[in-house]
Structure 1
Amino acid sequence: MRQQDDSPTPPTAFSAADAFTLRTALDALGGVHGLDTLDLACGHGGTTRLLASGGARRTVGVDNCPERIRRARETRHDGPAGPIEYVVAETAAMPQLGPFDLATALYLFNHAPDRHALHSMFRSIRANLRPGGRLLAIVPNAGAFPRVDWSPFGLRVLARDPDGDAPLVRAQFLTEPPVQVEFREWAHADFAEAAVEAGFTTAGWQPARTPPPCAERDEAFWASYRARPVSSLMTCVA
């Protein structure tokens, strides 16, 4: 669901908040220097490159789209410890690539089409983490549609179809031009259930963090966002 990192337009407000939230969480862990890191749903590699530039010992980006992986590979960026590895794979059926100390996932789990796929994603990630390894995942907040309007923050919900294991939400990024997206409205409890079933020892939540105010987005704007954020940070320990 995230806006791609090499978009020609400035990031939407919710994407800027997601990036700041993840960076803050990584800083709180002491950074990634010397860690083996895995970035899931890596897209064009923005977060993957962030991990590599932070001094990760090994950095692997995984995405199910060959075109996105091709573009990620074209953006040459080696970390202090060596080149980034990119793998085309579905997270739910990911091969054994680790073990890793840290995995990141931005808007991965909301694309699970059913409960079986959701649980398979968490099991696959857990299998690639060392004991004590961490998962940091940006996930959308459920239950807001259609009562909350996220249009000021760059995401407009168009429809919500209550079918399957989780409602299907149709929305668009308010970029130029707008980009249509679809995702499943899983509840946070569904994510936590899948994490525990996969063998994670803890599954917790942190609220979205927002960047410092600027001329374009002042403190009143970010206060409004924090009152109705698009996403939260899920943290799991293996």
Structure 2
Amino acid sequence: MTSQFDTLPGTYEDFTGTAFRTHLETPSVLTALGDLHGMRVLDLGCGSGVYTRLLKQHGAAHATGLDISAGMIGHARAQEAADPLGVDYLDGTLPDRLAGTFDLVLGVYVLPYATTPAELSDLCVTAATALRPGGRFVTLPIHPGFRPDAVSYARYGFTLTAPEPLADASPVTLNLRFDGHDDTVTARYWTRATLEATLRRTGFTRPRWSDPTVTEQGITAHGTDYWKDYLGHPHTVIAACTKEGGDV
């Protein structure tokens, strides 16, 4: 099936090298994940495989990437062939054979690409199906407190525009504009109430919410003022929850 991401793997790979990802997003995600050693981890909506490879590099015993974008998966597989880490990539839906086999599911910016409540529920069901009881789901939606006119994110390599007032499934236009790239995709905003209700309904505990933080190296490299706008109005939040039925 075609996807708005099929032509964007190079852009997503290059975005990994920006200050925003290097000093803020990626370390925040890794901190939320904690110790990965010995874990079986699924990168849901893995895109070009950036986080899938990081999961393996940070100790995961098995790391699997899953995405519906053939272009993204093709790029990820090419990366694995050129620099093998022992990462698996799957396109399409989760195979039945993998149900209940993962300790952790990571979904970076996957829930924002559900366009309807049913699609949002389906993504959460996929995460729940993949996990063993007591396994964790860590995901990054658009921040429920996101305000389109609050700040400009342009210095961080992207912009976000959306109609107001925001409501469930409101379209949010993401423009990635950095180092010669200029690409646009459409995401969706979901309220905190809807995200929490959907996660609970699909078998998860109530999520714990945490805003991303910047590293000391990032502050040293770019100064406090550089990060002030983003930290005051982050566009995403980290939601962590646990599949019910295990010892938690």
When the two structures are superposed, what TM-score results if normalisation uses the length of structure 2? 0.82
Q: What is the letter of the counterpart of residue 203 of structure 2?
A: G
Q: Using the alignment, how far apart are the partners of 2:208 and 2:219 within structure 1?
A: 31
Q: What is the letter of the counterpart of residue 11 of structure 1?
A: T
Question: In the TM superposition, what whole-angstrom CA distance separates every residue of 1:53-74 from its partner, at most 9, and x where no partner exists?
Answer: 2232221100111111111111
Q: Using the alignment, how far apart are the partners of 1:166 and 1:200 within structure 2?
A: 21
Q: Using the alignment, how far apart are the partners of 2:64 and 2:141 within structure 1?
A: 21
Q: Using the alignment, how far apart are the partners of 1:70 and 1:225 within structure 2?
A: 33
Q: Using the alignment, how far apart are the partners of 1:9 and 1:100 within structure 2?
A: 25
Summarize the Cα distance change of 1:50–1:231 in structure 2 as closer, same or farther, 3 Å threshold.
same
SS at match of 1:7: helix
2:54 to 50, 53, 56: 50
Q: Using the alignment, how far apart are the partners of 1:194 and 1:25 within structure 2?
A: 21
Q: Using the alignment, how far apart are the partners of 2:36 and 2:60 within structure 1?
A: 5
1:18 aligns with 2:25: yes
Counterpart in the other structure of 2:13: 6
SS at match of 2:141: strand
Q: Using the alignment, how far apart are the partners of 1:198 and 1:106 within structure 2?
A: 18
Q: Does 147-156 or 192-201 show the bigger shift?
A: 147-156
Q: Using the alignment, how far apart are the partners of 1:42 and 1:193 within structure 2?
A: 24
Matched ranges for 1:48-87 at <5 A: 48-76=52-80, 77-79=83-85, 83-87=86-90
1:159 Cα deviation (Å)? Answer: 4.2
2:173 to 170, 175, 179: 170
Q: Using the alignment, how far apart are the partners of 2:114 and 2:176 within structure 1?
A: 20
1:158 Cα deviation (Å)? Answer: 3.8
Q: Using the alignment, how far apart are the partners of 1:220 and 1:8 within structure 2?
A: 21
Summarize the Cα distance change of 1:204–1:180 in structure 2 as closer, same or farther, 3 Å threshold.
same
SS at match of 2:14: coil
Q: Percent identity?
A: 25
Over aligned residue pairs, what C-alpha RMSD do you find?
2.6
Check conservation: 2:64, 2:89, Cα contact below 8 A. yes
- Structure 2 residues not aligned, in runs of 5+: 244-248
- Structure with bigger helix share is 2
When the two structures are superposed, what TM-score results if normalisation uses the length of structure 1? 0.85
Check conservation: 2:56, 2:87, Cα contact below 8 A. yes
1:202 to 171, 195, 206: 206
Count of equivalent residues: 229
Check conservation: 2:65, 2:90, Cα contact below 8 A. yes
SS at match of 1:62: strand
Question: In the TM superposition, what whole-angstrom CA distance separates every residue of 1:138-159 from its partner, at most 9, and x where no partner exists?
Answer: 2221441233332233222344
Check conservation: 1:62, 1:88, Cα contact below 8 A. yes
1:163 Cα deviation (Å)? Answer: 9.5
Counterpart in the other structure of 2:235: 230
Q: Using the alignment, how far apart are the partners of 2:18 and 2:182 within structure 1?
A: 13
Check conservation: 1:146, 1:157, Cα contact below 8 A. no
Question: In the TM superposition, what whole-angstrom CA distance separates every residue of 1:177-228 from its partner, at most 9, and x where no partner exists?
Answer: 3211211111122211111000112311011111223565212222332111
SS at match of 1:160: coil
Summarize the Cα distance change of 1:148–1:204 in structure 2 as closer, same or farther, 3 Å threshold.
same
Q: Using the alignment, how far apart are the partners of 2:184 and 2:23 within structure 1?
A: 19
Q: Using the alignment, how far apart are the partners of 1:123 and 1:41 within structure 2?
A: 14
- Structure 1 stretches of at least 4 aligned residues deviating more than 3 Å after TM superposition: 1-5, 161-165
